[in-house]
Structure 1
């Protein structure tokens, strides 16, 4: 009978412990704050995807969720509605959004550098393109070819950008300016080059269709799209943005935004997400250097969420020798953003400047 009593007592204790642990786990889950973030399928946002896959279950404060958007205008509209907590946005677009509705703050970087100019064979025929991509620099060759097409047709050559308010547009403006050419965002304004909005996934098809009609074509897009056309054999990387816009640690590109509501009501959760994005960035950096299984794991994670990015293009984009995009030094970089802003206003890409100190929340910076 005594053994029965012990058995019954142990059973009750097990039940109580199970109930206690279950209640505590449920309580922990219930106390997590939802942090929903919007992203675009680009190498720019790989760290967010990696953070989601590797670390969301380790987060104590945040119930981290990501939602992929098809284009920048949809992302802008959704984020400006105030229904989500975070978004990863190109810096000129983010500043324009802030001018429109200042309901969010800048809390960090998603990456540095990371876009490239891709050209088709029609343009390549007019230039001497270095065999190795690391040797392709923003010299005058492409500018001279663009000018020649402009002079012969009497029309500006169209170059596809992910959005007219893209960092890419600022980079292109600077490149053209340094070689005596002009850029317009409006077809009614006379210029050497006309920037047109072109959703990143459609950029390779844009190059292909123009080539079929024997027309010069180019686009400036985030990685890996420029690498997609080169690895696919129907286009060429002409130069990388890091060489047009040299900056310590790499130029500012896509930045992380959080709504004022998320910052005030879910500060620990928002901070936790940003910290894990930085950790995920470090993971990508380690994987690209070591290669092997670590790189294979990163590629697998990325392709799970962005299957349009081929294994070859992802690996090419993360080439440790090229280092044309990096996920280091992701704290707020005010002088780096000022560089982009000043050029954007000068090139009539942005209508006005913003107060970068008010735009930033440096509490999210890590040592």
Structure 2
């Protein structure tokens, strides 16, 4: 059976919001023939009335008949015995994947999922690659490069926890490190789901991965070992901007985002909420008064600001600090405050590499330990490397100042002590299994392969810190008291606004634009008018074959229109959206220079008299008696794709 885009899909999901989001994902993949059911009973009725359904995508936990009962019911009937079935669930444990396979599901996809993850699951399902057939991890065949060295493929995501890998990559590219036994290939993935899949199914040699997730994979027979810590500390819990409510009341009945069910973030936030006397749990658990939802780390700020039911999230840096700096959140606590020097992400390597290429494993571990020392001594340089490594396309809008703050925070991420300690993993396992009902017990000493780390850390010398787990109840009540009794703005609040700005003028006022959004500056050129657009849109220009809309900033700000002169110019901006970069031109009177503006110079704007609508202003930069109005491009053009009628692709080739 092939996965034609016109085939009828039955989507079974009790949450209307989640169902809407998943339909949007399906639509983006070209699937528009979709039936919707709210639970298993509803799905069975629809199947009886629609015999041409080609695929069922079902949630696991639903009121009435859930996904597991639904697939069992289908497999008990001859008509549906071979109907392709994908289980979509926020639960990520291997034992649940096994249970789904035994019940008859062809595939399991962990929510939330990206379009490419869903398409892959659909393709595998229609190709007959069943979940039952993939329960045992396939053998990873090490690859050789043309030089005869091992091609070492290492997966990671866009968080500071994985910066040691980025520093190793940078030092190799600049010739400061010269591996003899391997060539490094890093694979940046969208979320933990594809990292988990790649590691489990032998698509990569190693991965920077959540420690509890690596423990779960090991428990179910994936041939891997933890060979090094990626870091210690380094995560942050934030809450939605403060309100008049007490913190406890603010969380009660609300949704709190975590990056994965099997994560330190889940464990530490669970400790904090239970310390406050709350009962946190996944949405399917009865009696919960703080509801966990799994969200890809890079999308947490977007979800927090866009969902009224959200109260906060816990995540690896720099995502939390960036949300604070952008004015979306307030700091709740740093992970190192509750559990000092705790592990979080680890380096897990496939056994095929450890057995066949131990010299490459030792060399990589040695370089990662070296990179960890480099980060601790050179946070400024490391932050610069991190911006390129963690945000190569600029879609996160990550800034060096934010990364440097995270690296320099005394309670922030630590990379100079990467030796795993068995006791820490025992603490993780005990809390997950006994308090949260997650995971399976393993022999921690069998999971850890410390021969490489012990040798590398001994050669590098340096510090060794034991972890200290504080009493969660005492910590939670003291932290809440401190937060509720102070009205001091976080030191992180201006970091997102620090950086280099392109200074320009309109009339007699000076403005600044973040240079990271500026692609180039061009002189005035012919602008082709476009009908049915607002007056501020002057039209489009053809810049080296690209059609780019142009907005007169004077008119957008309600200033009088003036004739263009020989110093008038067009600033071409790159405005990042979720899935692409959109080019846009703005007409300004003059461009002056690029200026480095520090966080300490920046203040919030007053509510009047600045010559630009307040919602467009990121802040005011003071320098002596001069004031620069710093513009927020994201607010200035929140929907740049809507500037031109019927415009679908601003980067299309010019006619």
Partner in structure 2 of residue 174 of structure 1: 271
Does 2:180 align with 1:86? no
Partner in structure 2 of residue 126 of structure 1: 245
Partner in structure 2 of residue 284 of structure 1: 375
In the alignment, structure 2 segments of 5+ residues that lack a partner are: 1-143, 459-655
Which residue of the other structure, out of 434, 437, 441, is the alignment partner of 1:346? 434
For the residues of structure 2 that align with 1:75 and 1:68, how far apart are their CA atoms?
9
Which residue of the other structure, out of 348, 359, 362, is the alignment partner of 2:447? 359
Partner in structure 2 of residue 157 of structure 1: 254
Partner in structure 2 of residue 312 of structure 1: 401
For the residues of structure 2 that align with 1:29 and 1:274, how far apart are their CA atoms?
23
Q: CA deviation at 1:216?
A: 4.9
The answer to whether the 8 A contact 2:238-2:320 is kept is yes
1:6-51 Cα distance to aligned partner (Å, 9 max, x none): xxxxxxxxxxxxxxxxxxxxx9962311111000110110111111
Q: CA deviation at 1:54?
A: 0.8
1:293-350 Cα distance to aligned partner (Å, 9 max, x none): x3564345435647323333212222x2433111021012111121112111123252
Partner in structure 2 of residue 35 of structure 1: 152
Which residue of the other structure, out of 212, 217, 232, is the alignment partner of 1:112? 232
Q: CA deviation at 1:179?
A: 2.3
Partner in structure 1 of residue 327 of structure 2: 233
Q: Which has the higher helix share?
A: 1
Partner in structure 2 of residue 271 of structure 1: 362
For the residues of structure 2 that align with 1:158 and 1:180, how far apart are their CA atoms?
16
Does 2:249 align with 1:145? yes
The answer to whether the 8 A contact 2:387-2:399 is kept is no
The answer to whether the 8 A contact 1:170-1:349 is kept is no
**What is the SS of the residue equivalent to 2:183?**
strand
The answer to whether the 8 A contact 2:383-2:404 is kept is no
The answer to whether the 8 A contact 1:96-1:350 is kept is no
The answer to whether the 8 A contact 1:287-1:295 is kept is yes
Q: CA deviation at 1:52?
A: 1.0
For the residues of structure 1 that align with 2:298 and 2:367, how far apart are their CA atoms?
27
The answer to whether the 8 A contact 1:114-1:324 is kept is yes
| Greater RCO (CA < 8 Å, at least 6 residues apart) | 1
The answer to whether the 8 A contact 2:257-2:312 is kept is yes
Q: Go from structure 1 to structure 2 and tell me whether the alpha carbon gap of 1:124 and 1:264 turns closer, same or farther (over 3 Å shift).
A: farther
TM-align CA RMSD: 2.1
Q: Go from structure 1 to structure 2 and tell me whether the alpha carbon gap of 1:98 and 1:124 turns closer, same or farther (over 3 Å shift).
A: farther
Q: Number of paired residues?
A: 307
Which residue of the other structure, out of 281, 289, 292, is the alignment partner of 1:184? 281
Residues 14-29 of structure 1 mapped to structure 2, 5 A cutoff: none
Residues 184-223 of structure 1 mapped to structure 2, 5 A cutoff: 184-210=281-307, 213=308, 215-223=309-317
For the residues of structure 2 that align with 1:189 and 1:97, how far apart are their CA atoms?
28
Normalising to structure 1: TM-score of the pair? 0.78
Q: Go from structure 1 to structure 2 and tell me whether the alpha carbon gap of 1:295 and 1:39 turns closer, same or farther (over 3 Å shift).
A: closer
The answer to whether the 8 A contact 2:170-2:385 is kept is no
For the residues of structure 1 that align with 2:387 and 2:299, how far apart are their CA atoms?
23
Q: Which has the higher strand share?
A: 2
For the residues of structure 2 that align with 1:260 and 1:303, how far apart are their CA atoms?
27
Q: CA deviation at 1:180?
A: 2.0
For the residues of structure 2 that align with 1:178 and 1:69, how far apart are their CA atoms?
34
Q: Go from structure 1 to structure 2 and tell me whether the alpha carbon gap of 1:96 and 1:28 turns closer, same or farther (over 3 Å shift).
A: closer
Does 2:223 align with 1:103? yes
**What is the SS of the residue equivalent to 2:293?**
strand
**What is the SS of the residue equivalent to 2:368?**
helix
Partner in structure 2 of residue 245 of structure 1: 339
Partner in structure 2 of residue 298 of structure 1: 385
Partner in structure 2 of residue 256 of structure 1: 347
For the residues of structure 2 that align with 1:112 and 1:191, how far apart are their CA atoms?
30
For the residues of structure 1 that align with 2:321 and 2:391, how far apart are their CA atoms?
19
Partner in structure 2 of residue 139 of structure 1: none
**What is the SS of the residue equivalent to 1:36?**
strand
In the alignment, structure 1 segments of 5+ residues that lack a partner are: 1-26, 128-141, 151-155
The answer to whether the 8 A contact 1:80-1:101 is kept is no
